[in-house]
Every structure is written in structure tokens, then in C-alpha cells.
A and B are shown apart, each in its own frame.
Chain A
């Protein structure tokens, strides 16, 4: 007979949903179907995200904070599976904190981005995580790095991510100009996120913004009723 090739049995579907009492969405993985955005300006970066986390069609958390601090002047914007991105962010926060203590210096944004890439690329088959790493350091000032699903790493002046990003590529391409000020970046980000949240079912809630510069991090929230109204209806 065939040798004992212990091939992993195909455990494709979940444990058979015999229990009709427990609805489908309780078995769905929690996903941050999302819109996230990060923009560089002279002196820092502006990052923004919506606040919706879904399990299937149910909104598990309508006030999520997807802008996660990794270090004093480095943040990441999370999209994809909530569990995967939270776990990766926790790991990178630890690794970067350790590295920073070893260096006795604030870490570089590029280092943080590479740590994200390392985890996302190594475990690319198991993970579903699209992350934007943004921050300020002394060497290169404001930087935005994009680490999409699959584990690529690329630096971009403006980056968007998440399910809602598809709706705002055109808006971004036409409205971003290099050399914008911090206020203009904040305007651009909040407008882009509002438009995406309007069109993408998996994005919504409030708009969370943060600006990171040498002086520190400034966070703000734009509530649903305060969002700009783009009138097509």
C-alpha cells in the first residue's frame, strides 16, 4: 500500500453548519473592509481611515480605530482581516520597540515598513493584510510605505488601500499635487474617505485622521453628520 504520506486532509469548509439557530455571520471572520489613505507632505504625513469592521453583513464595530501606533512617530493603517492585522501590528510594535532600545534612537519608518513586509511576505499564504506604514523620522522626514496583500513594499507619496480604495483612485490622481501643505492634505484625505465611504458598503462610520510630524501626532475625528456633503442626491 502507499506509504504513510500524511497529507493534510482538505479541511476546506467550516465545521458543518448543522446548527440553524446560530446564524451565518457568527462564523464569519471579522474583516476591516475598509478605506485607508496616507499622504506625504513637507514635514510629515497625514493618515486617515474609516471606522467600520464587519463580520459578513453585520457591523461588529462602527467606531474602530484603524490607525494603530507602532512607535512615537510611526503609525500603520490596517485593512483586511482584523485578527491578522492586529496580530501583525502587535508583533511589529514589539520588534520595533526592541530595535529602538538597542539603537538608543527613534526608529526609521523604513525599518518599520520592512518589519511589516517581513511578516506579510513570509506568511503570505496564511494572512490577509493590506497595510500602509506612515510616519516621520529625522533622516527622510515624512514617508508613506505601502505593504499590500502578498507582501510587496514600495514607497509612495500618496497611497490608498482597502476595499473602498477602488472608488477613489480617480479622485486621488486628479486632486493630489506634490508640495501640498498639511491643511490641504487633511482636506484631501477627508474628502477622499468621505467619497469612498459613500460608495463602499464595507466602509463607513466616522473619519479618523492623524497628522504626524517632528512635533508629534495630532489626532482628530470627523463624525458622520460633520462630513462634507457631496451632492449627487
Chain B
């Protein structure tokens, strides 16, 4: 019979409309034998410490899609403002977009106040957004920076809780990294010692956690200066294949030599094109 549909005003918050459809598709798919594409997660090791002159953030560079490495060299340390950076673990898209949104809002806020942004402000903005989405935005972040009140380091969880600490680790490799920190962290470390400690913590995550791997990125933030070291340590260099060693060509070359594939037939068809119209449009550079 005639159905009566009442249009609903768009409700704020997370839209669950596709979840039922996804569940049905997954069910149908499993019957046919294929599985849903998994969200790309940065099963990760990220960490940060406060040292004498500022903060150091560290991250591995592996992004996984299920059990496959989707990106061997992804950048997990995101720009928030010139004095604040944020490492992200969890769903790659969520960390990327969340940090970009807050970076944009923080820039506007900074222009409005006329002041250099503070780490506590970025923390508030991030935690309020994540709490609003009740954990459905899978972003676990390590936020660090130096502002007028000194160096600050926060860990931010997907549900919106934050902790302000002198050293933090997040991600699947966080237990391995935290073990290194708990053993060797001291307050007011020198820069070289601190960099070595962060490097070792990430390395512990890389070598003891399957979800983390590849290289180690570091970001050293001090008052007035940021050192984005990418990569700081190529912990996992790709091996050189024998054939390439002989030919002395650089690794990572997937080109096949001409003649590898035999040509069976060749047919050349010239296309007759006649010039109909030719017009010139000058670019307006005024």
C-alpha cells in the first residue's frame, strides 16, 4: 500500500546508515568466499619524551592492511603547528584527517588570538572531538610541542581521555617501547641521549611487534626550532637481489629488460586526423 515516509532532519554525529548494509554484504561475501577489505591500520609504535630542551617524538613507518604491509614508508608524525607535532596510531585515515582538522582550526585560533598556539589547546581540541565521536574515530595520538609554558607531551586515546606525562608510548608496539622507556628514562636528558632512547624504544617496537616495522622517524622540537628527521634510522634496509648485484643496478627496480616478453604480432594503424580548428587562449595574469 502507499507508504508514508517522513523525511528526517540530518542528525549530528556519526552516521550509522551504512553499517547494516556492510553487515549484510559481509555475510553475503563470506558465503561466496571473499572477505571485506580491512581498514588500513597503522599497527604501530609511536612514542614521545620530554627532555632537557624540549620534546622528541618517534614513530615507525609501517602501515598494514590486515596482514599485508600497505605502505613501507608512511609518515606517522603529523604537523599540527610550527611548534606542535602529533604522532598517530590506529586507523590511518582517522589519524590523518583528525590531525589535519585540528591543525587547521588551531591556525585559525592562533590568528584570532595573535599568539603562538599552546599544546594544551591542541590537546583540548583533539580530546573534545574524539569524545564527541565516542571512540568511533580510531585515532590514538601522541601530541608533543614546545610553547610559552615549556615542553609538553600528551597521550590521547580514541575515546577522548588524555594523559599528560613525561614519556608516553602508543600503538600495538607500545608495550615493547614502554619497557625501554621504563628502564632508561631519566628527567632532563641531553639531546643525543634522548634521541638514542627514542630510537631504541621504536626499534624495540619494530623488532618485537609484527604490526610495526621499516624505518624510524624522529621529530625533535625545541623552543624556536623543529628537526623533522625522516628517516632517522633505516632499521630495515631492503635486501639486494643477486641479479641486481651482478648488474650493479640500484635495488627496487621492477623493470623487465626489453625482449623478456616475446612479441608475436605487430600491427600499425595510422589514424587520419584533420585539423578542424586552432585557437589560442591567453592566460589572464593581471
Interface of A toward B, CB cutoff 8 Å: 1-4, 6, 8-9, 11, 15-16, 18-23, 26, 29-30, 53, 55, 58, 60-61, 63-64, 81-84, 86-87, 90, 126
Contacts and interface: CB of A to CB of B under 8 A. Distances in A.
Contacts of A60: 155, 157, 163
Given A15-B39, A21-B211, A9 B157 contact: no
Contact of A19 (B41, B161, B174): B41
A63 B165 contact: yes
A26 B171 contact: yes
Contact of A83 (B38, B41, B131, B174): B131
A52 B162 CA distance: 14
Contacts of B38: 18-19
Contact of A11 (B19, B157, B163): B19
Given A4-B3, A26-B171, A60-B157, A19 B66 contact: yes
Query: Interface majority SS on B: helix, strand, loop or mixed?
Result: loop
A33 to B, nearest CB: 13
Contacts of A4: 3, 5-6
A21 B67 contact: yes
Nearest to A85: B161
A64 B127 CA distance: 17
Given A11-B16, A30-B159, A83-B160, A58 B175 contact: yes
Contact of A23 (B89, B155, B172): B172
Contacts of B172: 21-23, 26
A76 to B, nearest CB: 15
A131 B244 CA distance: 66
Contacts of B8: 6
B3 A1 contact: yes
B35 interface: yes
Contacts of A61: 155, 163, 165
Contacts of B138: 15
Query: Interface majority SS on A: helix, strand, loop or mixed?
Result: loop
27 contacts: A4-B3, A6-B8, A6-B17, A8-B16, A18-B35, A18-B38, A20-B67, A21-B41, A21-B43, A22-B41, A22-B43, A22-B211, A26-B90, A26-B140, A55-B157, A63-B165, A64-B163, A82-B161, A83-B157, A83-B159, A86-B127, A86-B131, A86-B162, A87-B127, A90-B124, A90-B128, A126-B134
Contacts of A86: 127, 131, 160-162
Given A26-B172, A83-B131, A19 B157 contact: no
A61 to B, nearest CB: 4
B211 A18 contact: no
Given A11-B19, A15-B138, 9 more contacts: A9-B19, A21-B43, A22-B172, A22-B211, A26-B140, A26-B172, A26-B174, A61-B165, A82-B157
B4 interface: yes
A203 B16 CA distance: 36
B187 interface: no
Contacts of B67: 19-21
A90 B132 CA distance: 13
Interface string B133-161: 01100101000000000000001010111
B16 A9 contact: yes
Contacts of B175: 58
